[in-house]
């Protein structure tokens, strides 16, 4: 029986385009930006930002060093946020509906720049921050570990006090999905930019049907 639906952020709740952010960092002077920035797990000091080893100020200091000029936190923020292409409102409405029957949580490899934007009361144009749509947010930079490391999933399970088979984990990263599956979670991997809502509805409906048959 599914009790919790655990969502990724980029590529699932919001649509993203990695190349836009790569171009933005290159325009700031980071010539090898593509070697740091990945859709699923960052590398180098980008990873250190997402796993909490660097804060926003430390990231800007390292970015400035590599670019050979001073890069402000505002410039870094704009480069990070350029990865976001759309916040589909139908997905947010779906989250609201889900919370009537399930615990709805977020598990994201993310950083302070993205979350400062997401915490804005009008991040989606409806007067609500991202926090309003979830019961709990598991954020890599606060947890000091990233997907697909099993440690972050173990921390999630300990906090939720759910069995792995009671969680539907939705993520667009193959390695992340495998990590969830290895722990026994039910999983679904949508494609960035597609309408995955009908598929998730079917998974949840089938779960209810199977539960009723077993009773």
Catalytic residue ranges: 8
Distance CA 53, CA 47 (A): 8
Using the 8-state DSSP alphabet, how is residue 191 labeled?
A: P
Contact status, residue 85 vs residue 17, Cβ threshold 8 Å: yes
Name 137's bridge partners.
Answer: 106
H helix intervals, the chain = 18-28, 44-50, 56-67, 73-81, 89-98, 112-118, 140-143, 150-160, 174-183, 197-214
What is the side-by-side order of every strand in the sheet holding 136-139? 136-139, 103-108, 4-7, 167-170, 186-188
Separation CA 62–CA 203 (nearest Å): 44
Pairing of strands 4-7, 136-139: unpaired
């Amino acid at each position: 029986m599914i009790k919790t639906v655990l969502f990724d952020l980029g590529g699932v709740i919001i649509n993203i385009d990695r190349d836009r952010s790569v171009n933005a960092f290159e325009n700031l002077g980071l010539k090898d930006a593509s070697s740091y920035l990945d859709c699923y797990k960052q590398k180098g000091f980008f990873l250190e930002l997402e796993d909490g080893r660097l804060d926003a100020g430390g990231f800007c200091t390292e970015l400035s060093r590599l670019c050979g000029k001073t890069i402000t936190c505002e410039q870094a923020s704009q480069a990070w946020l350029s990865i976001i292409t759309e916040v589909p409102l139908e997905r947010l409405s779906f989250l609201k509906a889900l919370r009537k029957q399930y615990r709805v949580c977020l598990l994201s490899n993310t950083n302070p720049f993205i979350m400062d934007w997401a915490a804005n009361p009008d991040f989606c144009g409806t007067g609500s921050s991202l926090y309003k749509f979830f019961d709990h947010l598991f954020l890599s930079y606060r947890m000091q570990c990233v997907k697909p490391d099993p440690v972050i999933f173990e921390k999630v399970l300990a906090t939720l006090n759910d069995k792995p088979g009671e969680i539907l984990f939705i993520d667009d990263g193959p390695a992340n999905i495998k990590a969830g599956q290895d722990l026994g979670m039910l999983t679904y991997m949508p494609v960035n930019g597609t309408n995955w809502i009908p598929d998730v509805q079917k998974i949840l409906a089938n779960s209810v049907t199977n539960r009723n048959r077993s009773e």
